[in-house]
């Protein structure tokens, strides 16, 4: 059986091979953090795999009953592991589940790395994290900027307590974990240099640009009308507004307060007929809105 250290190195090498900008590219600090922080420490002993088995159910992986399969899943680059279904009304103790109402997970390693690549905090900068989850991303941030510079908010008190315990055990107890609605950010610690959300949104909460310094950075998944979410970057202007753009496709569970989506027009998206495609003689392709 491969050790966690060996699987961590293998996972990092696979992420390195994905072959595009992002991930570890030009971020040696991120590679070091990934290979140092034990992801298995932040993964619950029992998780659901988000791929239905032959019985049509989402199977459970148990660390004690299936140690090899569990550890391999922890370090599978593109596999998220589900830690909660239907806000906890579906119990992991009951085994494989039929419901796909996933409400908490530990995101797949590749996506965690990619988001931190674009956030790229500098040493000693202050970062606000929306959605503590298991605490894994908090630990990677703490390794880069120092635990005392990480503030994380988690809506569910039990998840926040578990994450803080895991962080404390590894020496990252200085991470400030607060039980709060991430839509409101955490005003008490503002202004922050950067903000990262590990939960998706339909609309950028107004509190977020207000709590990040002018010229800082926000990285968050946002829903799009194209059938998937996208990673969004925003730079606050200092007056509560921000500007930015989309980076890459992702898929994330939504903030609890934003699970119901408003019509796309109300969220600022143009209609598809407003999107035009132009192809030049040299094959150059341009896509824009007509407005």
Question: pLDDT tens digits for the chain (291 residues)?
Answer: 799 999 999 999 999 998 677 899 999 999 999 999 999 999 999 999 999 999 999 999 999 999 999 999 999 999 999 999 999 999 999 999 999 999 999 999 999 999 999 999 999 999 999 999 999 999 999 999 999 999 999 999 999 999 999 999 999 999 999 999 999 999 999 999 999 999 999 999 999 999 999 999 999 999 988 888 999 999 999 999 999 999 998 888 888 888 888 888 888 887 766 777 778 788 788 877 766
Rounded-to-integer distance, Cα 8 and Cα 146, Å: 22
Residue 107 annotated to the active site: yes
Q: How many residues does the chain have?
A: 291
| CB-CB neighbours of 23 under 10 Å | 24
- Report pLDDT for 291: 60
pLDDT of residue 281: 80
pLDDT of residue 272: 67
* Phi and psi at residue 223, to the nearest 5°: -75, 150
User: CA-CA distance, 74 to 43, in Å (whole number)?
Assistant: 7
CA dihedral 170, 162, 188, 126 (to 10 degrees): 30
Look at strands 212-223 and 192-197 and give their pairing: parallel
Q: How far apart are the first and last CA of the chain?
A: 58
Residue 31: exposure state from Cβ atoms within 10 A (0-12, 13-18, ≥19): middle
- Look-up of token digits 């922080």: 37
Domains identified in the chain and CATH numbers: 4-19+38-106 (no CATH), 121-263 (3.40.50.150)
The DSSP symbol for 256 reads: G
In the set 17, 76, 100, 107, the catalytic residue is 107
Distance CA 75, CA 48 (A): 15
Which bin fits 266, alpha (ψ -120 to 50), beta or left (φ > 0)?
alpha
157 contact partners, CB below 8 Å, separation of at least 6: 179
């Amino acid at each position: 059986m491969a050790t966690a250290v060996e699987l961590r190195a293998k996972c990092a090498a696979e992420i390195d091979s994905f072959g595009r900008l992002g991930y570890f590219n030009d971020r040696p600090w991120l590679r070091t953090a990934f290979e140092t922080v034990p992801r298995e420490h932040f993964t619950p002993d029992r998780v659901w795999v988000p791929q239905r088995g032959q019985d049509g159910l989402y199977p459970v992986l148990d660390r004690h009953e299936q140690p090899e399969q569990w550890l391999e899943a922890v370090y599978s680059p593109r596999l998220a592991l589900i830690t909660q279904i239907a806000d906890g009304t579906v119990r992991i103790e009951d085994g494989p589940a039929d419901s796909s109402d996933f409400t908490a997970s530990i995101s797949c390693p590749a996506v965690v790395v990619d988001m931190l690549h674009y956030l790229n905090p500098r040493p000693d900068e202050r970062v606000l994290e929306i959605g503590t989850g298991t605490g894994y991303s908090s630990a990677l941030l703490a390794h880069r900027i120092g635990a005392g510079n990480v503030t994380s908010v988690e809506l569910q008190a039990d998840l926040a307590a578990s994450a803080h315990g895991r962080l404390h055990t590894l020496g990252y107890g200085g991470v400030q974990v607060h039980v709060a609605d991430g839509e409101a950010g955490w005003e008490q610690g503002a202004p922050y240099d950067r903000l990262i959300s590990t939960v998706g949104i339909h609309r950028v909460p107004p509190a977020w640009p207000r709590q990040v310094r002018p010229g800082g950075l926000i990285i968050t998944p946002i829903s799009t009308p194209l059938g998937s979410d996208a990673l969004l970057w925003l730079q606050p202007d200092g007056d509560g507004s921000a500007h930015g753009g989309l980076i890459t496709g992702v898929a994330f569970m939504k903030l609890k307060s934003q699970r119901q989506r408003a019509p796309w027009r109300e969220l600022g998206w143009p209609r598809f007929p407003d999107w035009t495609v132009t192809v030049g003689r040299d094959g150059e392709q341009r896509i824009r809105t007509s407005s």
